[in-house]
Amino acid sequence: MSDPNKIFKLAIDPHFGTKAIHAGQNPDKWTFRNVIPPISMTTTFKQIAPAKHYGFEYGRSGNPSRSVLQECIAALEDAKYCLTYSSGLGATTAVAHLLKSGDHVLAGDDMYGGTNRYFSKVASKFGITMTLVDFTKDVNMEKMILPETKLVWMESPTNPCLRVIDLEKISNLIHKIRKDIIILVDNTFLTSYFQKPLTLGADLVLYSCSKYLNGHSDVIMGAVVTNRSDLYEDLAFNQNSLGIIPSPFDCFLVNRGLKTLHVRMKEHQKNGLAVAQFLEQHPLVEKTLHPGLPSHPQHNIALRQFSGFSGMVSFYIKGGLKEATKFLQSIKIFCLAESLGGYESLADHPALMTHASVPENERAFLGITDNLIRLSVGLESEQDLIADLDQALKASVN
Ligand code: P1T
C-alpha cells in the first residue's frame, strides 16, 4: 500500500513525475541506502524465529523488488493498492479468479484479442459466461446486466479500433443497477498519465505493463490497481495461489521504465497526433482512427475524459489485404511486429496478428478488416516517421 506521507519526508502532494521517480523508492529501506532499488534475486528470506520475518518469507508470496514497483504504480494512479502479475493476461487470469462458475461477464466488444480468447475459450470451460456489447452505443443496461453478472470489462480506448467509452456514464449506469458489480477498465493504451479510471467509477484498473508502463519492449508483465481493500486481499491471494508472479529482474526493469513515463507519454502524444493528421489527409488512406482527431466519433468524450493521447493510431489503407501487406513489407523505421507502447515504432495487422483469435464474423462486425493497420508511434523523429509512412503508402500501390 502506498502512503505518500511515508514516501515523502515533506508534507507535500507530489505530482506525477515526482511520484514516478520517488514513490516506493525511499533509500532508507535498504541496509546500504541504495538510491536505486536493488534487484532482490532470492527465492526465500531468512526468518528471525519460525513465522517471524522482516515482511518477506518466500519469493512467490512477496519480493522487495515487486513491492517497490507496486507502490510506484499505485501512487501514479493515486490509488491505495497495486498487484503485479507475470503478464497482462496473467492479471486478467487473477481477476477472472475473483469469479466462480455460473458468473457472467459483460465486456466491451472491441478489446485485445487475447482477452477475448481468455474469456471465450478458457474461463468458459470453468462455467464463466461472457456477453460482448458496444459500450459506445446506447446500451439497454437493464437488459444486458443479468442476475449472475459479476464483472464489467471495458477497454478504453479500445484495441484496435480506438473507440472511446464514456467510463463515468457507463459506471454510473451499472452501479445504479447493482452496486456489487465489479467494474474493470483496461487502461493499457493511455496509462495513468492520461486517464484515471478509478476517479470515473471503476473498481479495478488493469495494465499490460509490457506496453507504455515499461516502455522499452523488453518485459512482459501485468498489473491491477484498486482502492478497494476487499478486492486487493482477494487479488493478492490469487497472485500467490495461482503463482502468476513477475520476476524480480522484470520488476526492476518496469520500475526503471516508470521513471520516464511522463516524459515518454508527452512525446508519444506529439508523434501520434502528427502521424494521425498526416494519415488523415493522405490520398492512399481511406480512414484514420485517433481520438484526438475532430473526425473521431467520440472526440468530445476523449477531450473530457483524457488529459492527453498516446501514440496509438489505427487506419484503413485504400485497397485490401494486398495493399496492406505491401505497406507492411515496405516500412523501414516502423517495424512489423505485435505489441505497442515501446520507444520504437511498430505496425500491426490486427486481422492476421493480434486479433486473429477473434472469430471472423466478430472481426468483420467490429471493423477489423484486412485493410486495417494499427500503429504504435514511438519516439523517433516525427519527420522520419512521416516520411517512412509516406514511402510505404506509395509502395502499397506499386
Ligand atoms: O501481452 P500481455 O502483457 O499479456 O497483455 C495483454 C493485453 C492486455 N490488454 C491490452 C489492452 C493489450 O493490448 C494486451 C496485449 N496486447 C498486445 C500484445 C497487442 O499487440 O495488442
Which of the listed residues 258, 284, 301 is the one where a domain comes to its end?
Answer: 258
210 C-alpha vs ligand 1 centroid, how far in Å? 7
Measuring from atom 13 of ligand 1, which residue has the nearest CA?
Answer: 112
Residue 60 annotated to the active site: yes
Which of the listed residues 242, 258, 274 is the one where a domain comes to its end?
Answer: 258
Number of domains in the chain: 2
238 shares its domain with 279: no
71 shares its domain with 185: yes
277 shares its domain with 171: no
* Active-site choice (81, 85, 112, 207): 112
332 C-alpha vs ligand 1 centroid, how far in Å? 24
258 with 73: CB under 8 angstroms? yes
**Probe residue for ligand 1, chosen from 116, 155, 159, 190 as the CB with the greatest number of ligand atoms within 8 Å:** 159
Instruction: Write out the three cell numbers for 361.
Output: 464474423
CATH value at residue 335: 3.90.1150.10
271 shares its domain with 221: no
Please report whether residue 16 resides in a domain: yes
Sheet of 129-133: strands edge to edge?
81-85, 222-226, 204-208, 182-186, 149-155, 104-108, 129-133
Please report whether residue 210 resides in a domain: yes
What string of H, E and C letters represents the secondary structure of 98-137? CCCCCCEEEEECCCCHHHHHHHHHHHHHHCCEEEEECCCC
CATH value at residue 223: 3.40.640.10
The three-state secondary structure class of 173 is helix
88 C-alpha vs ligand 1 centroid, how far in Å? 6
312 C-alpha vs ligand 1 centroid, how far in Å? 13
Q: Give tens-digit pLDDT for 327-340.
A: 999 999 999 999 99
**What per-residue confidence (pLDDT) applies to 5?**
45
Residue 125 annotated to the active site: no
Please report whether residue 180 resides in a domain: yes
356 shares its domain with 307: yes
d(CA 314, CA 166): 20
Q: How many CB atoms lie within 10 A of CB 43?
A: 9
Please report whether residue 1 resides in a domain: no
114 C-alpha vs ligand 1 centroid, how far in Å? 7
Please report whether residue 3 resides in a domain: no
Which of the listed residues 215, 242, 258 is the one where a domain comes to its end?
Answer: 258
Residue 117 annotated to the active site: no
**What per-residue confidence (pLDDT) applies to 4?**
45
22 shares its domain with 135: yes
249 shares its domain with 288: no
| Strand 372-376 relative to strand 346-348, pairing | antiparallel
218 shares its domain with 232: yes
195 shares its domain with 301: no
User: Which residue segment(s) compose the domain that 116 sits in?
Assistant: 9-258
295 shares its domain with 367: yes
Candidates 349, 352, 351; CA nearest to 331 is 349
CA 92 to chain centre: 11
Residue 186 annotated to the active site: yes
Atom of ligand 1 nearest to the CA of 348: 20
Digits of tens for pLDDT over the chain (398 positions)?
445 445 555 556 789 999 999 999 999 999 999 999 999 999 999 999 999 999 999 999 999 999 999 999 999 999 999 999 999 999 999 999 999 999 999 999 999 999 999 999 999 999 999 999 999 999 899 999 999 999 999 999 999 999 999 999 999 999 999 999 999 999 999 999 999 999 999 999 999 999 999 999 999 999 999 999 999 999 999 999 999 999 999 999 999 999 999 999 999 999 999 999 999 999 999 999 999 999 999 999 999 999 999 999 999 999 999 999 999 999 999 999 999 999 999 999 999 999 999 999 999 999 999 999 999 999 999 999 999 999 999 999 98
**Probe residue for ligand 1, chosen from 92, 93, 211, 217 as the CB with the greatest number of ligand atoms within 8 Å:** 211
226 shares its domain with 85: yes
91 shares its domain with 214: yes
d(CA 217, CA 313): 18
Please report whether residue 295 resides in a domain: yes
